[in-house]
Structure formats: C-alpha cells, structure tokens
Amino acid sequence: MADMQHADEEKQIGHDVSGVAADSSSDEIPGYLRNASQKGFFGKLRYYEEALDRKLGVESHGIARKLPEDRDPSYAKWSNQLVMFALWASGTMNLSCFATGFLGWELGLDLRQSILIVVFSTLIGSSVTGWCATMGAPTGLRQISISRYSLGWWPSKAMALLNVVEQIGWSSVGSITGGVALSAVSDGKIGSALGVVICAVAGLIISFFGLKVVFHYEKFAWLVFLVIFMVMYGETASFGDIHTPTTLEGSTYSGMLLTLFGVVYGSSSSWASVVSDYYVEYPVNTSRVKVFLLTTLGICIPTCIGMVLGCVVASALNSKEDWASEYEEGIGFLIQTMVHPYGFAKFILFLLVLSGIGMNCIAIYSAGLSIQQFARPLAIVPRFFWALLCFVAVILLGLAGKDQLLTYLENFLSLLGYFTTSFFVIIFVEHYWFRKGSYANYNLDSWNNPKEMPVGFAGGLAFALGIIGAVLGMSTTWYVGVIAIKIGDYGGDVGNQLAFVFSLFVYVPARYLELKFVGR
C-alpha cells in the first residue's frame, strides 16, 4: 500500500522519487535539483532544451523512467515495433562491419573458417543483446539504470563510465570508416581527417534530436544498405577463394579461431549495455519473445551480411593483386576498384558513407544518457550538452585511429565483449535466480534512490573479477594475457569465456551473502 501511495504522489507532482523530472516541463523538482535546474548556466540550457522539445521534439526528459501512461501510444503499432529490427539493421550494416570481415584473412584463416566463425559468434553476441532488450519495455528504464538492480548503485556508475567509452569508440569506428570512404569518393580531395569530422557531425545532428528522430532515420536506412551489399555480392562473390586452405596448425590454429570469435562476438554483444535505451516508449505488455527475436535478428542478419562479404573479398586478395594494392590504400579505394562501372562504384561508396552515420547517432545518443546516469547531479545537465562533449571525443579518437583501422577494430571490439559479458551474466542471473524472472519483484519507483538499490558488493565483486578473468584470457596486439599466451604461437583469446565463468561463480554466492547481511 505504501508503494501504491508513493506512486500516486509521484504522478501528481510529475517527478520520480529521486527528484529527476519524469516530465521535464514540470517545475516541481525538489531539493538541490530544483535550484540547479532553474538557475545559472545549466538552468538556461534546460530551458532552451525544453523549448526545442516543444517545437522540434528534441526529447528533454533524459534518463527519467518512462511511466506506462506517459508513453507514446503509436509505439504499439506493428510498423513501429518493426523498428526494433530496422534500428539495429541500420546501425550494424555498414562499412566498419565489412572491414571487420577482413580480420579472419588477416589472422591467417581461410574463407570457410572465417565465415563459420562470423556466423556462429555473431548469433551468440546478438542473442546476448536481444535478451537485454527485453528489459526496456517492462521497466521503462535505460539499460544502465536497469543494471542498478543487479550490479548495485555504485558499480553501475563504473559501468556507465565504461559505456561512455564504448559508445565513443563505436562512433569513432563509424567515423573512421565513413571518413576513409568519403576520401575515396572525392579521389583524395577530401582528406580522411576531414571525412571523419563530416561523418561525426552528421551523427551528432541526428542524435541531438533524440529517440524519435533516430528511429525515423534508422527505419528506412537499412533498406538502402541492403541493396548496396547485395550488389557488391553480385560483383565480387565469384572471386572468393575457397580453394586455398589455411597454413595454421594445431594450437596456433585454435588460437586464431578463438581470437576471431572474440572480436566478432564483441561487436554484436557490445550493444547489450545500451539496447534498452531504445525501448522505453514501447508498451509494458509488448511481447518479450518478439523483442528478443526482432533485436537478435536485427543485429545478427545485417552483421553477417556485411562481415561475410568482407570475408569473401579478403580471400580474393590472394589472387587479385590490383585489389590487394588498393586495400593498402583503404577500404574505400578497394570498393571503387572491385565494383563496376567506376561511376556507379563512386555512387555506392557515397551511400556507404551514410551507413556509418546510423551507428554514430545510436552511439552518441546513448553516450549522453550514460553520462547522465553516472551521477545524479549530471542528470541536471541537458543531454544535448553531453552529446556535444562526446562528439569532441569522437573527433579526437577518430583522427588518431584513422590510419590503422583494422588494428583499431581488432583491439576495440575485443575489449567491448569482455565487460559486456560480465554485465550480461550479472543481470541475467539476478533476474532469473534472485528475482524469479518477474518484474513484480523490482521496485521500479525507486530506480534512482540509492537507499533502495543493492549497494553493489556482489555485483561489483563479480564484475571486477570478470574483468580480471578477461585480462588473463585476452589476446590483442598490445597485450596478451598469461592464459591466452599459452594457446599457440601467437595466443588465443579466451577473455570472454573466463569473464563469463568468473562472473557467474562469484556473483551467485556473493549475492546470497549481500541479501543476508545487507538486505537489498
């Protein structure tokens, strides 16, 4: 009864229990947030943000929980529910996905092996993200806020920080690949550095306007990219080399398979820490099976399309010397060489520049939300301000990594999988083991109240030891763990496997102890 009364009071004054406005146009904000939100520099920024929201739909409510009665009813329509597929299809079917497909060849694997690993690891990584997506509609919370119920109040802040780094990295990858392509389209007149800036700016503009504009762009963009990739398949598939076997043997061969698995798995599972950010408008009773399938397939199918194409083209470099020389200049120059006629290739390349924008706007949007979830005072600052700050970081990182794209991808995507594996294990076990798979066992009204959330002894310990396991098993160009180095001549990446085992076997007993001695 007390919870029901509290919920009724919350609706009447238009804010959640933490004091962060559920309705951003409300002036009824208690405590230090009232003064901070109405006065000074940030007060003016919030005023302008709310004005833009009224006129342009910029989305000023930020991280506040989306109550069932406040959600847009249009999201119940089947066309808007299909966006759950289209959103991720547009964000993953891009040039960076194509470039990642070259990694199997770079590691010395043949075409058959590369394709099998790409499909298998993408399906597993996509399923991790697909399950996390099911938590968005029932709770109305962003993914980091949901993790407070398992990771705990304080460790979730560390996850928020890691999430910012992750999303900035994703946006940088999209900007780098788009920038290189734009340079190729212009025959070098636009340098790759300027191309990185242009792609980052485009992503910022779309993400600035919030969830609805992101949805509108992503709803149709994937269809264009699908046609482009099918054309590229038609022109290049016959050159794929299925006859040249790998020269790798024994444990060295196994190590390269494990390393490729880690990279590709990381590229698909890394969205698990933000996926619910895009589902808060959907009705509470939205089918979780539908959410899981649409999200999983929306990541898996487009990613496989792009990466398998990369595998095929990479294998052709064994015999196509002209392709190999252009590949050294950059992915964009390679595409111009392998697609005919030349003018058509330029047109395709220009459209593929836009493919990076889809990933950019998703990443920048979620990065801003993660900063707001790092500390309650940061939620006062408008989301667009954080988006601008992230944009600057994307530019700097993109310019620094533009000349070593594959190395950048291999290292970055591997790192992403490690901590999202621990993240997934902890919230999955909490939901099904300790909360019996029922959202009735979550006090959603207290999502932003540290006194009602788990402190984080269990979640923090499991997450930290999961990362330690990942460090022991990681295999990257800059560091190879003490366990990974024992696999073959060059090491084999088992970081995700160790992160999974360490997190699982630590969290269960630690959570029992936390509930017994702390009580929440």
Tell me the per-residue pLDDT of 167-209, one tens digit each, with 9 for 90 and over: 887 777 777 777 777 777 777 777 777 777 887 787 777 666 6
Q: What sections of 245-382 are H helices per DSSP? A: 250-269, 288-316, 321-329, 331-338, 342-374
For the ranges 118-127, 202-211, 364-373, 485-494, which has the lowest average pLDDT? 202-211
Arithmetic mean of pLDDT, 308-337: 89
* Block residue for tokens 């699982």: 504
**Of residues 86 and 11, which shows the higher confidence score?**
86
Q: Is the pLDDT of residue 19 over 80?
A: no
pLDDT at site 17:
34
Report the percentage of the chain scoring pLDDT > 70. 83
* Residue 242 token pair: 């299925």
Contacts of 342 (CB under 8 A, 6+ apart): 336
Tell me the per-residue pLDDT of 337-360, one tens digit each, with 9 for 90 and over: 898 887 888 888 888 777 777 777
Q: Is the pLDDT of residue 462 over 60?
A: yes
Q: What sections of 375-494 are H helices per DSSP? A: 383-401, 405-429, 457-473
- 10 pLDDT tier (thresholds 50, 70, 90): very low
The model's pTM is: 0.84
pLDDT at site 182:
78
Tell me the per-residue pLDDT of 469-479, one tens digit each, with 9 for 90 and over: 999 999 887 78
- 291 pLDDT tier (thresholds 50, 70, 90): very high
Q: Would the CA dihedral through 305, 310, 311, 316 be positive or negative?
A: positive
Q: Is the pLDDT of residue 397 over 80?
A: no
Q: Is the pLDDT of residue 504 over 80?
A: yes
- 411 pLDDT tier (thresholds 50, 70, 90): low
Domains of the chain in sequence order: 72-518 (1.10.4160.10)
Tell me the per-residue pLDDT of 107-152, one tens digit each, with 9 for 90 and over: 999 999 999 999 999 999 999 999 999 999 999 999 999 999 999 9
CB 380 within 8 A of CB 36: yes
Summary mean pLDDT of the chain? 82
| Number of other residues whose CB lies within 10 A of the CB of residue 442 | 18
pLDDT at site 413:
60
Q: What is the DSSP letter of 475?
A: B
**DSSP 3-state assignment of 15?**
strand
| Number of other residues whose CB lies within 10 A of the CB of residue 31 | 9
pLDDT at site 207:
65
Q: Is the pLDDT of residue 211 over 70?
A: no
Arithmetic mean of pLDDT, 54-69: 67
* Residue 122 token pair: 């993408």
Q: Is the pLDDT of residue 385 over 80?
A: no
